[in-house]
């Protein structure tokens, strides 16, 4: 039941993570390069800049997503007393 009640919290946290991740990436890219971040739909860009921007953006989005997801789960647990997920990773 906790997993079902956690769905709206998870969706909201995901949206917040997306907005926050975009702001962090744009701020960091502004330090790296004065031009806007390259996108694969742009014709005249270098592969190096495109791959660098993609790697940085991916790392930032993943880190922000994981942080917001875990924080929302901890808040849900503090509020309801039920953890919405697994307690430990499966042993290898």
Consecutive sets of 10 residues in the chain, 92 residues long: mean pLDDT of each?
88 95 95 91 92 96 96 94 86 80
CB count in 10 Å sphere of residue 17: 21
What is residue 58's predicted lDDT score, i.e. its pLDDT? Answer: 97
Is-above-0.75 flag for pTM?
A: yes
- Please, which contacts does 22-25 make with residues 24 or more away whose CB atoms are closer than 8 Å? 24/60, 24/64, 25/56, 25/57, 25/60, 25/61
What is residue 85's predicted lDDT score, i.e. its pLDDT? Answer: 84
Q: Tell me which residue has tokens 């991916």.
A: 58
What is residue 8's predicted lDDT score, i.e. its pLDDT? Answer: 94
First to last CA, the chain: 28
Q: Maximum Cα–Cα distance for the chain, whole Å?
A: 54
What is residue 22's predicted lDDT score, i.e. its pLDDT? Answer: 96
Distance of CA 22 to the CA centre of its chain: 9
């Amino acid at each position: 039941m906790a997993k079902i009640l956690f769905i709206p919290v998870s969706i909201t946290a995901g949206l917040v993570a997306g907005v926050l991740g975009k702001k962090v990436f744009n701020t960091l890219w502004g330090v790296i390069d004065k031009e806007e971040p390259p996108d694969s739909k742009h014709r005249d860009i270098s592969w190096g800049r495109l791959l660098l921007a993609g790697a940085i953006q991916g790392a930032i989005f993943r880190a922000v997503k994981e942080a917001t997801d875990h924080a929302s789960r901890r808040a849900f647990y503090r509020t309801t007393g039920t953890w919405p997920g697994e307690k430990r990773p499966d042993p290898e």
